[in-house]
Amino acid sequence: MVTTLIPVFLSVVSLASAVAPATIHTYLNDYLSSGSEVFFPSDAAYTTELTKRWSAYDAPNYVIGVKPAIAEDVSIIINFFSFSGFTTDAQMLEIDAFAERRRAAFAKANGADKGLEVYVNYAHGNEGRDAWYGADKLPRLSTIKSTWDPSNLFNFTNGFVL
């Protein structure tokens, strides 16, 4: 069984701090199926359902709305898409094409100043350093890496390479 994970991170600062799940579905209607679920920390299901899903073998396809400390920090996190059971090259190419289109749409919605942002631990691997670490952080990370790890000992999947 082949599983393709395509992560995306979408920061939506234009939403108010008290966003209803229906609002998220409306805003992301082109990108989410009607069966997607939205959980908030104030919901009982936030703890019970998500803990159950996160501990399951297969990855959940859930959208998580997080209430931040200040209104400007509002964000929506699309954790990842998981596709299982597809084994032919044609199927995998179609899944990759679908995921690339979704990822491009999320990057566009994130704004020209930010583009695609991906939590590095969930990266597919072809997003690039700007998406993994943030273009604004790369100079500082490069300085730190050259000072504390010049031989690149601490490097793993999508690790920061000088």
Per-residue pLDDT of the chain (162 residues; tens, 9 = 90+): 333 333 333 333 333 345 566 666 566 666 555 666 666 556 666 666 655 655 554 544 444 444 344 434 444 555 556 667 778 889 888 888 888 888 888 778 777 777 788 777 777 778 888 888 888 888 998 899 889 988 888 776 556 665
Contact 75, 66 (CB under 8 A): yes
Bridge partners, 5 (sequence order): 82
Instruction: State the CB neighbour count (10 A cutoff) for residue 78.
Output: 21
Closest CA to 28 of 108, 116, 112, 96: 108
Neighbour tally for 45: CB within 10 Å: 13
The span from the CA of 30 to the CA of 104, in Å, is 13
Predicted local confidence at residue 55, as pLDDT: 55
Determine contact, residues 32/63, Cβ cutoff 8 Å.
yes
pLDDT at 92: 84
Which DSSP symbol is given to 60? P
Please list the alpha-helical segments (H only) found in the chain: 21-27, 44-54, 89-110, 129-133, 138-148
Task: Tell me, yes or no, if the pTM score tops 0.75.
Answer: no
Residues 6 or more apart whose Cβ sits within 8 Å of residue 69 = none
> How confident is the model at residue 71, as a pLDDT?
39
In three-state secondary structure terms, 161 is coil
